[in-house]
Amino acid sequence: MNLSELFIRRPVMTVLLNAAIVIAGVFAYNRIPVAALPSYNTPVINVFAQLPGASPEPMATSVALQLEKQFQTIPGLNLISSTNTLGATSVTLEFDEGRDINIAALDVQAALLRASRSLPQDMTTPPSYRKVNPADAPVLVIALTSPSLNLSDLNDYAEHLLSPTIATLDGVAQVNIFGQKRFAVRVRVLPEALSARNISLDELNAALKAANANTPVGTLEGPKQTMTLQANKQLRNAAEFAELIVSNRSGNPVRLRDVAQVEDSYETVKTFGSFNGDASITLAVFRQPDANTVKVVDAVRARLPEFQAQLPQSVRMTPFNDRSVSIRNALHDVTLTMMGTIALVVLVIFLFLRRFVATAIPTLSLPVSLVGAISLLWAFGYTLDNISLLGLTLAVGLVVDDAIVMLENIMRHVEHGMPPFQAALRGSREVGFTIISISTSLVAVFIPIFFMPGVIGLLFHEFAVIVSLAIVASAFVSLTLVPMLA
């Protein structure tokens, strides 16, 4: 049985088939996601909880321990680790490989609902969770600075204008704001003043809550309709809070400024963002798992002038930590290495074969095999990154083996006086199954990598795939295009 006979007898079909492989590869190359590392979804979920003012010990006993008790009932959970700091707890949940991260997230959400009954009642916000990908990192960070505006104003622009707008761009998964400075009025109680006026902290707290309520105060009923009266008594700044009457002692009103220091401040004063020595609000842009990092960064940068025009002139947007720069440089370096490798392989082939035609045919099989491997890589949902390009570089020396074996056997019959057409039929029949066995044995070498555990296994899984795909594409080209050209 001759696997190559059909392709030798129908050269037009063979050329069109291989041309289709090249076109598919070019199409895939323009659409395949580009990243620094392979994109994968490791089943890891991070849970975060806050209890302002609590020391690490109470955070561990009253928050982290209660959460861990509920998380232990989740199936497929491999490891629980927690970190407790001042006012915050972070719990990392690592699941077994193969566990669906979305189903695990639902289990975590249910566990948080169960744990809420045993958590401290004075927690400002319920615990939140986030699915984590070790390959995840911001693709671009943007710093907002201004010499004249307050940080709370910068925070409003970041939270209500920039973050939601950037999040709608193609390929952007989310935009996180770091160093947030939401406006808040800070009340510093003077214990001596409270004690002198016989006012308790509970009484002061109740007065503040009552004065800042926004609730219906009654109804106005008419013969045909009833109207609800809403009185917005919320106070907006420190000056308004300072005049608040918190108690009445013997007919003398006691105002908040008499028993406390009131100042305009921020919700969080223990975190601070800085860029080049200036106070800043920072936006971190994250890409979607299958998005092209370079295209996402380019899309965000293209909109920056538009965003800048919507901000006051004193506000400056400065992008930094651009991951596309390192990716471009790395891909450029690896591409140059691969081109140099191809040149060396072609030179070695020519030195040994010493014939232009015999060198040109294996050389032609190189780009067809590599481009075909890229098309298959895109079809299987992988990314073009340093790992896959490293695999392609290694595959350069492997994909020419099949073509050389096929070509040398055909040329041997031609040198013995056999017509080229008959030599192609006979030579391809003799080594057809040999080429298949060579390719199969090479692919078999990479099979153990598919079963490597942990993050290393996930990373080099793509390496094994791209090399195997290049070898398979090389075998196909060697059985179709090479004997037809020979």
Q: What is the pLDDT of residues 9-27, one digit of tens each?
A: 898 999 999 899 999 999 9
Going edge to edge, which strands form the sheet with 88-95?
77-85, 88-95, 44-50, 128-132
Q: Token match 């704001």: residue?
A: 177
Instruction: Give the pLDDT of residue 216.
Output: 64
pLDDT cut 70: percent of the chain above it: 95
Instruction: Give the pLDDT of residue 270.
Output: 67
Rg (CA), the chain: 34
Q: Which residues contact 251 (CB under 8 A, 6 or more apart)?
A: none
Give me the residue spans of the domains in the chain.
5-38+326-485, 41-132, 184-266
Instruction: Give the pLDDT of residue 32.
Output: 86
Instruction: Give the pLDDT of residue 137.
Output: 78
Instruction: Give the pLDDT of residue 71.
Output: 92
- Which tokens go with 384? 């073009």
* Confidence label for 302 from pLDDT (cuts 50, 70 and 90): very high
pLDDT at 307 over 80: yes
Report the C-alpha gap between 363 and 294 in whole angstroms.
31
- Range in 76-85, 140-149, 359-368 the model is least confident about: 359-368
User: In the CATH hierarchy, which top-level class contains the domain 41-132?
Assistant: alpha beta
CB atoms within 10 A of CB 289: 16
Instruction: Give the pLDDT of residue 91.
Output: 92
pLDDT at 231 over 80: no
Largest CA distance in the chain: 125
Start-to-end CA span in the chain (Å): 19
Q: Which CATH number fits domain 5-38+326-485: 3.40.50.1000, 3.40.50.1820, 1.20.1640.10, 1.10.10.10?
A: 1.20.1640.10
- Which tokens go with 218? 């009654």
Report the C-alpha dihedral over residues 177, 179, 185, 188, rounded to 10 degrees: 150
**184-266: which CATH topology?**
3.30.2090
pLDDT at 136 over 70: no
Pick the closest to residue 68 from 51, 83, 54 (CA basis).
83
Segment 288-316 shows an average pLDDT of 87
pLDDT at 341 over 80: no
Q: At what angle do helices 11-29 and 356-379 cross, to 10 degrees?
A: 50
With left for phi above 0 and alpha for psi between -120 and 50, is residue 277 left, alpha or beta?
Answer: left
Please tell me which residue, 224 or 119, carries the higher pLDDT value. Answer: 119
Mean pLDDT of the chain, nearest integer: 84
